[in-house]
Amino acid sequence: MTTGSPAAEPRYVVFSVADRRLALPSGAVRRVLPMPRLERLPGQPPVLAGVAVLGGDAVPVLSLATLFGLAAREPGVYTPLLLTGRGGEALALLVDAVQAVGPADGPMLDDADAGGSFNACVAGAWRRGAETVFLLDPARLLTRVEEERLAGFRAVAEERLGVWHGEPAQGEPAQGEPA
């Protein structure tokens, strides 16, 4: 009889948003960060909690509660962010708390209604005590249109950040160039 080693088991980051238990594959979460200072952008939608400057880069911070239409809590100094990313672009997810990192602590449920979630972002679920943990597919958290809008806000934040580092704003001549 062959048994799988514990190292081969998929690992997840389990967290809470508005009293719901959610999870992402651990490979999709680069780091768990403490709440940094968030900058607001003109015209940013409520789902965008702000932009954090991390390692010199502008990183959009999405409120998962707002994205899912849940009651959002006011973030505090101990509110964690899950640093994720796709295609080399970092994205931080604002969550209420991180509960665990490890394998699913219960069997996967067969009736996880992935088709019933918006953009089919629920990839599975398992029971954790009396609660259900919903596994999110990081590639399906945002629609294509939402990702395009997010890229636009990221570009604005990067441009504003560049001005502070001596880079010309879009449409302005570089230093030493004729106006």
Closest CA to 97 of 21, 10, 12, 24: 21
CA atoms within 13 A on the CB side of 51: 25
| CATH number, residue 39 | 2.40.50.180
Asked if the structure places residue 3 within a domain, the reply is no
Residue 77 belongs to some domain of the structure:
yes
Q: Which of 72, 77, 45, 48 is nearest to 61 (CA)?
A: 48
Q: Which residues constitute the domain of residue 47?
A: 9-164
Q: Read off the DSSP letter of residue 73.
A: P
pLDDT confidence of residue 175: 47
- Please report whether residue 178 resides in a domain: no
Angstrom CA distances, 157 to 42, 69, 92, stand at: 10, 25, 14
Give residue for tokens 């990313």.
Answer: 85
- Token pair, residue 13, equals 């980051």
Report if residue 60 sits inside a domain. yes
Position 115 scores a pLDDT of 55
- Residue 129 in tokens: 């005590």
Q: Is residue 177 part of a domain?
A: no
Residue 4: inside a domain: no
Spatial CB neighbours of 118, under 8 Å, sequence gap ≥ 6: 68
Whether the Cβ atoms of residue 83 and residue 31 lie closer than 8 Å to each other: yes
How many independent structural domains does the chain possess? Answer: 1
In a domain, 65, yes or no: yes
pLDDT along the chain (179 residues), means of 10: 61 95 96 92 88 89 93 89 88 95 86 68 89 92 88 85 60 50
Tell me if 135 is assigned to some domain: yes
Q: Tell me, what's the pLDDT at 105?
A: 86
Q: Which of 78, 77, 86, 79 is nearest to 59 (CA)?
A: 86
CB-hemisphere CA count at 13 Å for 178?
A: 0
